[in-house]
Amino acid sequence: MIVPQKKWCVTVPKQEGERVRKELQELSLLDERYKIEERNGRLYIPLKGWPHECRYDVEACDVELRPQTLRKGLGISYDTIGDIAIIGWFDGARAAAAELLATRKNIKVVLAAVSGVRGEYRLKDLIFVAGERRTETEHKEYGSRLLVDVSRVYFSPRLATERHRLAELAQSNETVVDMFAGAGPFTVLLARKVKKAIAFELNPIAFRYLKRNIELNKLHNVEACFGDVKDVAPKFPGAAQRVIMNLPHSAFNFLSEALTVLSSSGGFVHYYDVKPENEFPQTIVTVKEFFQNRDRTVETIHLKKVRSYAPRQYHIVVDIKIAPS
Ligand SMILES: C[S@@+](CC[C@H](N)C(=O)[O-])C[C@H]1O[C@@H](n2cnc3c(N)ncnc32)[C@H](O)[C@@H]1O
C-alpha cells in the first residue's frame, strides 16, 4: 500500500497547475518523487521543503510517493527539450535512461551532459546514452514551435516561464531587440506579440535555426542579423523600446550596445546574470551606475530570481526602466 505523507504543497486552481508546476521546477522547488494531488478543483503541488519566497498559497497536505518504478526514472533530474531528455552523467546513467525511455512515452532520446555550459556559443558537451541517435528535436513552448539541435545550439527549457513573463510585459507597438538570440525562443515568443523583433546571433548554426524558427512560426516581423553584437548593434541606433540580454556572465560587457539600440524615448532592458544571493544588491548598484554614468536616468530597477543554477547560485534577471534622454 502507498502511504500518504504530509508535505508542504503549493495550492493553485487546476487551470493554473501546469504553468505553476513548470515555474516550481525551474526554481528547483518541485519534489518530483511525489504525485500532484487534485481536490475540489485545486492542485496540491509537492515542494522540496518550506519555500521562503513563494508567491503562491502553501499548505501542508497528504501526498503519495510515486510508484517505485517511476521513481527510479524520476529520481534523477533531467531537462526535456522536445522528445530529448538531457541528464547529468553518473554511474548508472544507462539504466536510468532505459527507465526513462520505458516510463516516459514522450521521450525518444536520452543524452548526458558531461560539461557545464561553456564557450562563446554557450554549449554543453553531450554524449549519447539511449534511444534514437539524433540531437535535433522540435520543442513546443507557450504555442511557439522551436526546432533545435541541442548539441550545437544553446537552449534551456527552464526559461519558459521567464520568456512568458517578458511576452506578457511587452506591448503590441514595441520593437524588441533580442541581443543574444540563439535559436530564437525569446524572439519567436515576443514577435508574436510586438510590432517588430530584431535578433542578433553569432553562432552560425544557431542562426540557421533562428531563421528556420521564424519561418516555422510564420513570422513576418522579425529581422535576424548574423554577427557579433558589437558589430551589428550600431546598425540599429535607437530602434528598440525593449532589449533582452540573455548572456549570463558576460552581459555587462554589452551594456553599451544595449544603450545604442535603446530608443531615445526610453524603454526596458532585461539584463541576465548568474549570481549568489549575497551579490544581488551590488549587481543592482553596478548596473544602475552604468546607465547613470552615461547620463541616462534609471526610473525603476528590480532584480528577480529566474531559477536556481548551481548550489547557492541563481540565474537572475534585472529589469531596468530607462527614462527618455
Ligand atoms: C545563453 S545563450 C541564449 C540564447 C537564447 N536567447 C535562449 O534563451 O535560448 C547566448 C547566445 O548568444 C550568442 N552570443 C554570444 N556572444 C555573442 C555576441 N558577442 N554576439 C552575438 N551573439 C552572441 C551565443 O552563441 C548564444 O547562442
Closest residue by CA, ligand 1 atom 1: 247
309 in ligand 1 pocket by Cβ < 6 Å? no
Task: Assess whether pLDDT exceeds 80 at residue 4.
Answer: no
Closest residue by CA, ligand 1 atom 19: 228
229 in ligand 1 pocket by Cβ < 6 Å? yes
Cβ–Cβ under 8 Å, residues 149 and 126: no
Provide the pLDDT for residue 70.
Answer: 46
Provide the pLDDT for residue 89.
Answer: 84
pLDDT tens track for 70-87? 444 456 778 999 999 999
Cα–Cα distance, 266 to 298 (Å, whole number)? 10
Nearest to 224 by CA among 216, 214, 234: 214
Task: Assess whether pLDDT exceeds 50 at residue 105.
Answer: yes
210 in ligand 1 pocket by Cβ < 6 Å? no
**Domain limits, the chain:** 5-66, 69-134, 157-322
pLDDT tens track for 253-281? 999 999 999 999 999 999 999 999 999 99
Give Cα separations from 221 to 85, 143, 195, 230 (angstroms). Answer: 32, 17, 7, 23
180 in ligand 1 pocket by Cβ < 6 Å? yes
272 in ligand 1 pocket by Cβ < 6 Å? no
What's the 256 CA to ligand 1 centre distance in angstroms? 16
228 in ligand 1 pocket by Cβ < 6 Å? yes
What's the 121 CA to ligand 1 centre distance in angstroms? 6
CATH 3.40.640.10 fits domain 157-322:
no
Provide the pLDDT for residue 240.
Answer: 98
123 in ligand 1 pocket by Cβ < 6 Å? no
Fold of 69-134: GMP Synthetase; Chain A, domain 3 (3.30.300)
287 in ligand 1 pocket by Cβ < 6 Å? no
Task: Assess whether pLDDT exceeds 80 at residue 315.
Answer: yes
Task: Assess whether pLDDT exceeds 60 at residue 244.
Answer: yes
Domains 5-66 and 157-322 are alike in CATH topology: no
Give the three cell numbers for residue 321: 526602466
Closest residue by CA, ligand 1 atom 9: 155
Class of the CATH-defined domain 5-66: alpha beta
Cα–Cα distance, 267 to 283 (Å, whole number)? 20
Task: Assess whether pLDDT exceeds 70 at residue 157.
Answer: yes
Q: Is 72 helix (H, G, I), strand (E, B) or coil?
A: helix
What value does the mean pLDDT take over residues 212-233?
98
Three-state secondary structure of 229-264: HHHHHHHCCCCECEEEECCCCCHHHHHHHHHHHECC
- Looking at every residue in the chain, the average pLDDT score rounds to 92
Pocket test for ligand 1, best of 180, 198, 244, 271 (most atoms within 8 A of CB): 180
Helices (H), strands (E): how many in the chain? 9, 17
pLDDT tens track for 283-297? 999 999 999 999 999
